[in-house]
Structure 1
């Protein structure tokens, strides 16, 4: 008599992909301790140098970029997924160039504010159009999982835009749907549309709260750059993790049918 093979659990997903997982793993959603460090340390280093020496903009930028470079090189050497850290490094470089050209430390945060504004507009626009962004993304990942089968899952050690489509059992598939977009047209899936809309509103709230707090600090100029940096850290990963958890609570019942 042989034991039946154990079902391998779906890997934890990062970023927005975590909301379609079987269970919510906050640390995995943020990319683990390594992902957190790669996101937070460059900002902490920048605001620390500027706080100690307000005129030392270039050294602050160099220190911040150096930390991002170390994270990128480390992942390349270890042959780990680099999509997130490359995105972070690109953001750091653009932010540094913007601050260097303007000569103002507060300009280091301009690109991040713009990205939050774009995400907010995308969320609100999707709600107005009747295509809630969370539902659209989960449907795309579900379709990708169906197309990819069990041929691997990729790296789950990253956070942010990079997500792992995962296995069939980990997606937010709505029972009885006709294809990944069934929730859009099926009258019986009104509850799914409602939950996706609420989840998208929560995601929009995350970006809106960041802008509400950070924009006035940004407009205050270099005198508030330390407070802006702290706000960016506090309203970054902690708020993101909380928002993803609320979204997961909203959409997880759809997977269970």
Structure 2
């Protein structure tokens, strides 16, 4: 006989199995690592030192050169060049290319948008769209009772997707996912007004400040608030 959890608002048993398979795939690709003290390894979650550099340096180089020279073309070329250097380094060292390829694709698309429009602020447009997409996906995951943070944290904690059968654990992971949604919404709330007022210097600075550091803080808070209580074993 099917239980309520077998057939809940996420759909049929087959659909639930599909979500579980997706969760396993996400966990396998995730950089989430739990340290010996039970806390999440934030450095690993952010992609390690190299991953942080790949995320931050292209934007930092663009901002510094544009602020100093006000030359859009030089700034864009330097940003793309930095992303290419990281890609070449991974090719030479034969390390996974996924993050570097995603980085060069994002930087290249951002550069094309800025160059074709002649507006430096459009260098950040792709980031806004990506951020909005993540927000939408996470809100949907909460609505269908498969919160993204549950899928990631559950496997890091060896819970798998068993947490879905426990209302208190499901609620905790929904709250955790809302925290990351809030982080991403805060980015848009602060940065979009700067984009629409063409304040490129402040926008670039906010992108750096509200990038990896704010994400890591949100992830840490979400981890702490969603941890199982001692009575759950």
**TM-score interval, smaller chain:** 0.7 to 0.9
Higher relative contact order (CA 8 A, sep 6+): 1
**Residue 124 (structure 2) pairs with residue 109 (structure 1):** yes
Q: Which moved more, 1:129-138 or 1:69-78?
A: 129-138
Match of 2:72 in 1: 57
Q: Structure 1 length normalisation: TM-score?
A: 0.72
Report 1:165-204 matches (<5 A): 171-174=156-159, 180-184=160-164, 186=165, 189-204=166-181
Correspondence for 1:236 among 206, 211, 216: 211
Q: Count how many residue pairs are aligned between Structure 1 and Structure 2.
A: 204
Structure 1: give runs of 5+ residues left out of the alignment: 1-12, 143-170, 175-179
Deviation, 1:126, is 2.0
Greater helix share, 1 or 2?
A: 2
Long gaps (5+) in structure 2: 1-26
Is 1:32 the counterpart of 2:53? The answer is no
Shift in Å, 1:137: 4.0
In 2, Cα distance between the equivalents of 1:216 and 1:236? 17
RMSD over equivalenced CA pairs, Å = 2.4
- Hey, what's the Cα distance between the residues in 2 that align with 1:74 and 1:49? 23
Specify whether residues 14 and 217 from structure 1 end up closer, same or farther in structure 2 by C-alpha distance, changes over 3 A only.
farther
29-38 vs 190-199, which moves further: 29-38
Distance in 2, matches of 1:105 and 1:202, equals: 31
In 1, the alpha carbon distance for the partners of 2:51 and 2:200 equals 24
State the shift of 1:87 in Å. Answer: 0.7
- For residues 52 and 15 of structure 1, what CA distance do their matches in structure 2 show? 39
Map 1:88-127 to 2 at 5 A: 88-127=103-142
Does the 8 Å CA contact 1:26/1:245 hold for their aligned counterparts? Answer: yes
